[in-house]
Amino acid sequence: MTKVTFASHPYLLGFEQLDRLVERTAKAGSDGYPPCNILQTAEGAYRITLAVAGFASDDLEITLEANQLTVRGGQSEEAEGRVYLHRGIAARQFQRSFVLADGVEVTGAGLENGLLNIELRRNPPESIVRTIPINGKKT
């Protein structure tokens, strides 16, 4: 049985990558940790906020590769001799990924009060109109 996707429509040419993107996005960060908000702050501007209580800026890493924004966190080993009677604040390693559209760039990031804020801005693409010659005929 053949898998039917929206990119298999005959008028959508070259969108195979979009199918792979949707599949990859469904897998990325599926466990929901750490919790996050995505906010539109203005026209074409967004903010991703992750709740990273207990993590210092040195424990976090933000990378952008091939339109995939990845946030990783891992706390350094704790000082020996600490005895927890109760440990309710999660300290496990994590990785959250977000797929960004073409033209969306990361403009900054900040950590404040246990919240990691990542600022994004979408730059509108330029509209280019070209006339295509037929059989080398100049128009």
Question: What region does 5 belong to: left with phi over 0, alpha with psi -120 to 50, or beta?
Answer: beta
Q: Say whether pLDDT at 132 is over 90.
A: no
Quote the domain boundaries for residue 107: 31-77+87-125
CATH number at residue 54: 2.60.40.790
Q: Are 99 and 65 in a shared domain?
A: yes
Predicted local confidence at residue 35, as pLDDT:
93
User: Is 92 within the bounds of a domain?
Assistant: yes
* 28-49 average pLDDT score: 88
Residue 18 has pLDDT above 90, yes or no: no
Q: Are residues 38 and 72 in the same domain?
A: yes
What amino acid occupies position 44? G
Same domain, 20 and 72: no
Reported confidence tier of residue 98, pLDDT bands at 50, 70, 90 = very high
Q: How many structural domains comprise the chain?
A: 2
Question: Quick one: 107 and 72 in the same domain?
Answer: yes
Whether 130 maps to a domain, the answer reads: no
Question: What type of residue sits at position 33?
Answer: Y
pLDDT score for 66: 87
**Does 59 map to a domain?**
yes
Confidence of residue 104 (pLDDT cuts 50, 70, 90): very high
| Residues recorded for the chain | 139
pLDDT, residue 7, reads: 65
DSSP for 26-78, written as a single string: HHTTTT--S-EEEEEEETTEEEEEEE-TT--GGGEEEEEETTEEEEEE-PPPP
Say if residue 73 is in the same domain as residue 118. Answer: yes
- Examine residue 134 and state whether it is found in any structural domain, yes or no: no
